[in-house]
Structure 1
């Protein structure tokens, strides 16, 4: 496990501390959770963009039309 030192404005640190307390966890665990969420979002966006480059606009729009039709019933 690595150690990371970050600099935050005092007000942001206080708000993070209160959020961690509200969730009954340490600030360390909260930061780990937030980092995991951010990495997951980044990975999903990266995969989406890579697949979009290989895909077809026409097929993508057709798929969205199918989804729209399925959910508008």
Structure 2
């Protein structure tokens, strides 16, 4: 396991500590959750871009538009 040091404004640090506390977790676990989510999103986008490069660009845009509509209807 690695150690990572980051610099944050004091106010942001306090807000993140409060968020972690409200979730009943540590600040370390909160950042672990954030990084896991960010990596999953990055990997999904990478896979999508690779598939899109091999596919039909117009159909890909249609699918994204459809997803946008579905997402906006849920909100």
Question: Normalising by structure 2, what TM-score?
Answer: 0.76
* Structure 2 residue aligned with 1:37: 37
Q: Rg bigger for which structure?
A: 1
- How many residue pairs match? The answer is 65
RMSD: 2.1
Question: Normalising by structure 1, what TM-score?
Answer: 0.78
- Runs of at least 4 residues off by over 2 Å: none
Q: How much does 1:56 deviate?
A: 1.3
Gaps of 5+ in 1: none
Find the aligned partners of 1:57 and 1:35 in 2 and give their Cα distance.
30
